[in-house]
Amino acid sequence: MNPLFTHPMGVGTWAWGDRLFWGYGRGYREEDLKQAFRESLEAGVSLFDTAEFYGFGLSETLLGRFMAQSGARPYLVTKFFPYPWRLSRKSLLQALRGSLRRLGVEAVDLYLLHWPWPPVPLRVWAEALAEAYERGLARGVGVSNCSLAQLAEAKAVLDRHGVPLLANQVEYSLLVRDWEAHLPTLRREGIALMAYSPLAMGWLTGKLDPRNPPKGYRGSKYRPHLGRLERLLPLLEELARAKGTSPGAIALRYLMEKGTLPIPGAKNPAQVRGNAEALRLSLGPEEMALLEGAS
Ligand SMILES: NC(=O)c1ccc[n+]([C@@H]2O[C@H](COP(=O)([O-])OP(=O)(O)OC[C@H]3O[C@@H](n4cnc5c(N)ncnc54)[C@H](OP(=O)(O)O)[C@@H]3O)[C@@H](O)[C@H]2O)c1
């Protein structure tokens, strides 16, 4: 069985050490992240999603440090970034060894191709992923940001090696539901959908005002969705009130009810605790239909 199906939720660590986009060092620091790490294990969330790209390695380094300090060994997902100067499959194995060093482990549980970008054809990276698996450097492999056709292409290569393709990590939230129609296909193939930006980068927590969007990427990326947010947020708030939780936890539970694995990013223990509330919730068919309608 795909081990990802045993993890209802993970923690995203893009913000761990990332100064450029998330502002690491201003408003949150290493101690907040260390507590977030501990809090998530206590809350029963034991999958961490990182990437060599996040904080240019610092996310992996911090995760490695917290594991060493605590003795905990959660399920680790990291990713290979196909920088344009990486042209051969050997570069994937080298990059993976760098990730293993920063994380302080001999193998990761899941190694993903971060983006299926040219110039190197996807099949070359899929061959390299198979090799990482065969060498025991990754206990599982998968892809991220792949279309259905790209997924099939990567799977065909891995199938030839007898290596299962465990995941496609894609953007999926109540605001971006493009993948929903394909969930039964993925399930049939035994592939987990890891849902990134499941809180729409914070919008679905209700903390940002659609009528006064923040400057920068968070504002511009979700500009086309602001009208729908004005309909959706009051419903999330109403359901959250009725269930004694937060809008964000409802938004995450929606993705879990769909059989996907959300990996909400968190910068401190309070955010981890809030997101983990989704584990104890349930949403009935009528509530799911209401959310689908409003989104
Ligand atoms: N494969 C890929 O290409 C890809 C792309 C993007 C992300 N990812 C992965 O997916 C993870 C999650 O995506 P994401 O970070 O883009 O977006 P997200 O999970 O939708 O939003 C995360 C942000 O929302 C805010 N937040 C989280 N929990 C909260 C809570 N309980 N209450 C209030 N605010 C809360 C925090 O930001 P503030 O405190 O600043 O508001 C946090 O950094 C990433 O960390 C990364 O691991 C992968």
Q: What is the pLDDT of residue 215?
A: 86
The answer to whether residue 246 sits within a structural domain is no
Q: What is the pLDDT of residue 136?
A: 98
The answer to whether residue 26 sits within a structural domain is yes
The answer to whether residue 46 sits within a structural domain is yes
pTM, two decimals, is 0.98
The answer to whether residue 224 sits within a structural domain is no
Q: Is the CB of 16 under 6 A from ligand 1?
A: no
The rounded Å distance from CA 104 to ligand 1 centre is 24
The answer to whether residue 21 sits within a structural domain is yes
The rounded Å distance from CA 209 to ligand 1 centre is 17
CA distances (Å), origin 167, targets 12, 40, 54, 263, 265:
15, 22, 19, 13, 18
Q: Is the CB of 145 under 6 A from ligand 1?
A: yes
Candidates 54, 75, 111, 133; catalytic one: 54
What are φ and ψ of residue 27, in 5° steps?
100, -25
**Integer Cα distance of 286 and 266 in angstroms:** 30
Q: Is the CB of 194 under 6 A from ligand 1?
A: no
The rounded Å distance from CA 152 to ligand 1 centre is 28
Residue with tokens 């996807």: 122
Q: In this structure, which residue's CA is closest to atom 38 in ligand 1?
A: 202
Range of the domain at 72: 3-205+258-281
Give the CATH number, domain containing residue 107.
3.20.20.100
Q: In this structure, which residue's CA is closest to atom 32 in ligand 1?
A: 271
Q: What is the pLDDT of residue 29?
A: 98
Mutate to test the pocket of ligand 1, among 58, 201, 236, 246 (most ligand atoms within 8 A of CB): 201
The rounded Å distance from CA 88 to ligand 1 centre is 31
Q: Is the CB of 195 under 6 A from ligand 1?
A: no
The answer to whether residue 10 sits within a structural domain is yes
**Integer Cα distance of 137 and 111 in angstroms:** 9
Mutate to test the pocket of ligand 1, among 60, 215, 267 (most ligand atoms within 8 A of CB): 267
The rounded Å distance from CA 198 to ligand 1 centre is 7
Block means of pLDDT (10 residues each) for the chain, length 295 residues? 97 97 96 98 98 98 98 98 95 98 98 96 98 98 98 98 98 97 96 98 94 88 91 97 98 98 98 98 98 96
The answer to whether residue 253 sits within a structural domain is no
Active site residue 133: no
The answer to whether residue 213 sits within a structural domain is no
Count how many domains the chain has: 1
Q: In this structure, which residue's CA is closest to atom 7 in ligand 1?
A: 196
